[in-house]
Amino acid sequence: MTNVRLAEYLIGISTLIPMPQDYWPDDGVKWSVNVMEHRASKRHQGGHAFQVLLAESTPAYTADGSDGTFAVELSAKQMRTGIERDYGKGKTLEQIFDTKYQQPTLALAQAALGMIRTMMTGFKKVK
């Protein structure tokens, strides 16, 4: 998947994405980010920069007395690594972020089980 597609998807779903705590070791918190913008960048690893809001922290960030919302840039590599570390490798964006997503094999198994239950409702168990 291209960095542009990843960025547009993350902007479109407008959800908080947990990032590793070691990205901001001086803060002593784990930030969840919301992707706001993106651009190509030769300066960032992966060739792309993601403008994100540090929207939520665990525990609450209180070091500077502000409201806790900050804008920073993350590289494409940092975004991809952060997502993989929190959600695991080898998953599609739909598997990670779409709450209605079902694995195709799971959906088929559930349909088959439902059909068997429907067929068996007319039968009584004889002892």
Distance, CA of 51 to CA of 107 (rounded, Å): 37
The pLDDT value recorded for residue 73 is 93
Distance, CA of 22 to CA of 30 (rounded, Å): 8
The pLDDT value recorded for residue 36 is 93
Convert the pLDDT of each residue in 83-97 to its tens digit.
998 888 888 887 777
Largest pairwise CA distance in the chain: 75
Model confidence, pTM:
0.68
Tens place of pLDDT for every residue, the chain, 127 residues? 888 888 898 888 888 899 999 998 888 888 999 999 999 998 998 899 999 998 888 888 776 666 656 889 999 999 999 999 888 888 888 777 776 655 555 556 666 666 666 665 665 655 5
Q: Work out whether the CA dihedral 114, 93, 99, 24 comes out positive or negative.
A: positive
- Would you say 52 and 37 are in contact if contact means Cβ atoms under 8 Å apart? no
Q: Where are the domains of the chain?
A: 3-89
Distance, CA of 45 to CA of 81 (rounded, Å): 11
